[in-house]
Amino acid sequence: MSIEDKKRWDRKYRDGIIPTKTIEVVKNYANLAKGKEALDIACGMGRNSRLLAKMGFMVEAIDISPLALDSLKGIKNIKTKEVDLDSYRLKENSYDLIVCTYFLDRSLFPQIFKALKKDGIFIFETFKEHSKSTKIPSNRNFLLKEGELKEIFSKDYEIIHLSEKWGRDHFNNRVLSEAIVVRKI
């Protein structure tokens, strides 16, 4: 990401157009992690980090926006880190749980595999491509393709949960999302 990306995200957070509700799949499956070391990738204002911290996880919350990360300062069990995910490398064999919601960078998937401990849990949810969605993405690469998650995660993971759902984003666009929960084997 660039300085422009950082400014753009800071502006979005400052203007309050980012959702704050914890993602349901995170609520429903985070407790499957055997340990308490968690990573929240592209955490934003911490909608998932806050829940994980309350559950007793030691959360490393990473994002490009210092403005977003400031909202998490001083919260027990959350350590923030400003990173550019285009150049940052995840710590290998460090996490019992990794969460990434509504941020799709396919090049991170191999890093996530290495960053998870054996039997670690990865929870992921983001928008999926569909002709009936009314949200027009700035970049089509930010949308999942049909069958993509199952294909990516069927080799080195046990798929625990895979689902898609129709809903509304915070601008009231009709959107299709897909979620997956996997265990590293």
Predicted confidence at residue 138, as pLDDT, reads: 62
Structural domains of the chain, with CATH:
3-184 (3.40.50.150)
- Among residues 141, 120, 127, which one has the least CA distance to residue 29? 120
44 CB neighbour count, 10 Å cutoff:
25
Provide the Cα torsion 43, 72, 52, 82; round to 10°: 40
Predicted confidence at residue 135, as pLDDT, reads: 72
Tokens 């993602």 locate to 23
What pTM was estimated for this model as a whole? 0.90
Provide block-wise average pLDDT over 10 residues at a time, the chain (185 residues). 68 69 94 98 95 98 93 96 94 98 94 97 92 72 88 94 89 88 97
| Residue 119 backbone dihedrals phi, psi, to 5 degrees | 70, 10
Single-letter residue type at 18 = I
- 8 A C-beta contact, residue 88 and residue 1: no
Single-letter residue type at 163 = S
Predicted confidence at residue 1, as pLDDT, reads: 52
Predicted confidence at residue 126, as pLDDT, reads: 94
Predicted confidence at residue 3, as pLDDT, reads: 72
Predicted confidence at residue 53, as pLDDT, reads: 98
